[in-house]
Amino acid sequence: MPCVHEFCIMPQDPGPEEEFTYTPEKFPDQAVVDDDDLNEWAGRHRDALWSIPVYYHERSRPDVGLAWYGITLIPPSSAPAFLELLAGDPEKEKFAGLAGLLHRAAAQNKFIIHYGI
């Protein structure tokens, strides 16, 4: 089985201390990105990526970037920053599904949950 990252739109905002486990099947609107592709992308955008505000595992744990081996909650306010990095990437076609998901989440003002590898 390949190593992938799964990004899903959350239908409801996560509670302040709600903990999450790996359950992508709960969220039908999702995008899957290969770990090698995401790792290369992250390397190209390291400084900008690791300045985007997110939460690790629950909303009581603010952080930046992506929890590579865990769960990241991406708030609606951070979706435009991720979109900007994707739009300016030379290999943006690899991330078309993720870009579409980020656009939909931003338009709906929804959180995104990221399941790392």
Report domain extents, the chain: 4-115
pLDDT of residue 20: 86
Q: Is 104 left (phi over 0), alpha (psi -120 to 50) or beta?
A: alpha
CATH of domain 4-115: 3.40.1760
Beta bridge mates, 6: 32, 115
Residue 116 confidence class, pLDDT cut points 50, 70, 90: very high
Residue 1 confidence class, pLDDT cut points 50, 70, 90: low
| Average pLDDT of the residues of the chain | 94
Of residues 84 and 19, the one with the higher pLDDT is 84
